[in-house]
Structure 1
Amino acid sequence: MVLEEQSGPAARTHFATADRATPEELRREAEACLGHPVAGFLMQALDGLVLILDVHRQVLATNERVLQVVDGTPDATLGRRPGEVFGCIHVPDSPSGCGTNHACAHCGAVLAVLEAQRTNEPVHSECLLTLRNGEHTESVEFEIVASPLTVGPHQFIAVVLHDLSAVKRRDALERLFYHDVANLMQGIRGWADLLASGVSTSRDTAQKLAHLTDLLDRELKSHHALAQAEHGELKPRVRAVLPLEILVDVGDLLSRHALARDRDVEIRPAPEATIHTDPELLSRVVLNMAVNAVEASFMGETITLSAQFEGPDIRFQVHNPGEISEEIRTRIFQRSFSTKGTAGRGLGTYAMKLFGEKVLRGKVGFDTGPGGTTFWILIAR
């Protein structure tokens, strides 16, 4: 067994039980599981990723597909919990491993297993997971079925996972694309109708159309870049740029956001030191932070854009007075998660991570508390 036994007073948790089976108990349960014909059938016949767990949510056996995905062996997975097998980012900060973090209270996988144990009935659900892959993270969406399985005196849970990431990603991108483009086209059509009817021929109308057309062009490029980044095909176009140029560009784009008209946007002085990065991608990251700040703030509040040195690097920041709730904090960068409850949304914060870390090789994060929320990206000069 890879993990040490954790039980008794030392086993701590913020959600699910922390106790684990002893090595001897695990050995007996694994032998019972692997020797049972039903369990063997499940391991061989079911499509997807199959894991059989004991009452402590520890892995007793997996099918070959799981071992291929995690590049592991049966001995390496024995005794681990699902989040530990797949590399959930919350495991290192959990007091007693998978299931014991505050974030686990919102994990579809943990909830499904616990519900199957409670009701002794199969549970169908979905879960969004953020997994560590080397130095970077990736979001995955699973369909999960957790089913009780009785083997002699033992009560197990058979878990079957189907990766829906490709389908969810495509659906989310399509819905987001049509939503954003339709909004811009509506604005363009309105101003174009004014010109066609002869009601307005002013220079202001022409400028409005030019601005909307520019935004449409940016949206088309942004969605294309997002799709490329998802497949690892987006290459940054690096050049020298001043941090203030990024902040001014973001401030200009933000001023065209409907909600921004009722908020004060402050651009603070920035270091006069050039950085070498892709300014268009960096602007998209900071703009997503700014739009998120605007949507999370109230009329009359101030959104602050700033940049400052952090050691040899530059840290771009967007601050708003609101605080992110505990429930949302752990899921803020997951693809398809949205506080707005709108289908196809929830890619703004995810795109910050995707562009900022996977493409620009920076570090993206946020700090939140009573003093407000600051999203930031740290970029090497």
Structure 2
Amino acid sequence: MPAQARPQAETFFLPAERASRREVQYIAERVASEGLLRTLLDSIPGLGFIINRERQIVAVNNRMLRDLGVSEPKSLIGKRPGEALRCLHATEMPAGCGTTETCTTCGLARAIYESLETGERITKECRISLRTDKDPALDMEVVAAPAKIEGCDLTLCVMRDISGEKRRRVLERLFFHDVMNTAGGLQGLALLIAESSEDSEEDREVKEALVEASNTLVEEIQGQRDLLAAESGDLGAHPETIKVETLVLSVQDVLGNHRVSEGRFLEVEAANGPSLTTDLVLARRVLINMVKNALEATPRGGTVTLRCEDRGECVTFLVHNPEVMPKEVQLQIFKRSFTTKGEAGRGIGTYSVKLLGERYLGGQVGFTSEEPAGTTFHWTVPKEWRIHD
């Protein structure tokens, strides 16, 4: 006699049908008998669990038991993830987690679905609303990856709490928005004051210094904002065709009278340079950081040179200073927060050069540093814009 088909339950998204209690228990016992798998599951620092094709839990790690306040894993076996996590929407449909209309936008449900469909590791973010007043929502990063035990297709799921990261990003955006408004207002006032006439030579120097300080403040804030966005993958590039000479001279305009140039000479060679298509703001930031680092490393009376070379399909920018970096500095120069100045929080100049110059502008950054030639940082960037991942 053929097996009777299970009745179809209503669903807005994923299949509603569940495996029988006996089937779930069988797989749970097989997983529990795999000692290495259990050890690996418990070594996961976040929430870890394994589900069958019907998305029912067959194993959980100790971290998940502890965070959910559950003493025995058997109380979670057979439940779907949202039901175990006490998702607010898991009870909206008779078939539970994965079948409600809200589930169509759930990162956890979509990661599981895509992993089951493609057989690949899928990573997504999700926000889970909980049936509790203590922590009403969880911001989680979810990784779903295929697994197989004794011929059974399973999915390993790992969830990491990213609530703190989310809050930090929101606060950073608010901070940069507010501080940029303040700095922009200061810059506008400085320009208005500088435009007034009938000043003494001393007054004009003070006004010029005020304008320069406000411009530097705005540039530094924008630089820090873009660096944080670049690290998180949220920075967008806006390519345009520019003359290399225009780019190089704009760097000279910014740094020519900058305090870091005091007592030092900045020589620029860019006459009749080629054109290239790139993000002007980011490219200028890369070169400004390259030149600033060179000026900071150069003793008073020394000279820093910025020049460019046309190399066919690419343009190479070279920044030279007469000093030589110690070997231990060379080995760490592109690491975040490494600094030779002994100040906490510094050391992002060369790091940002490599991050922006390579990942976002598609170039190659490097350096040479040896006696008697000194130190030269070089950035080679294609003339034609390419889409960079």
TM-score, normalised to structure 2's length? 0.48
Higher relative contact order (CA 8 A, sep 6+): 1
